Amino acid sequence: MESVKLAVIYYSMTGINYQLAQWAAEAAKEAGAEVRLLKVHELAPESVINNNPQWKANVEATKNIQEAGSADLDWADAIIFSVPTRFGNIASQMKQFIDLQGGVWAQGKLTNKVVSAMSSAQNSHGGQEGTVRSLYTSMMHWGAIIVPPGYTDASIYKAGGNPYGTTVTQGQDGKMVEDVKDAVFHQAKRTVEVASWLKKGKE
| CATH assignment of the domain containing 70 | 3.40.50.360
d(CA 75, CA 72): 5
Q: Tens of pLDDT along 51-104?
A: 999 999 999 999 999 999 999 999 999 999 999 999 999 999 999 999 999 999
DSSP 201: H
d(CA 30, CA 87): 35
Quote the mean pLDDT of the chain: 95
d(CA 55, CA 116): 25
For residue 10, give its domain range.
Answer: 5-202
The terminus-to-terminus CA distance of the chain in angstroms comes to 8
Q: Does the pLDDT of residue 203 top 80, yes or no?
A: no
Predicted TM-score of the model (pTM): 0.96
CB 76 within 8 A of CB 101: no
pLDDT band at 202 (very low <50, low <70, confident <90, very high): low
d(CA 96, CA 65): 18
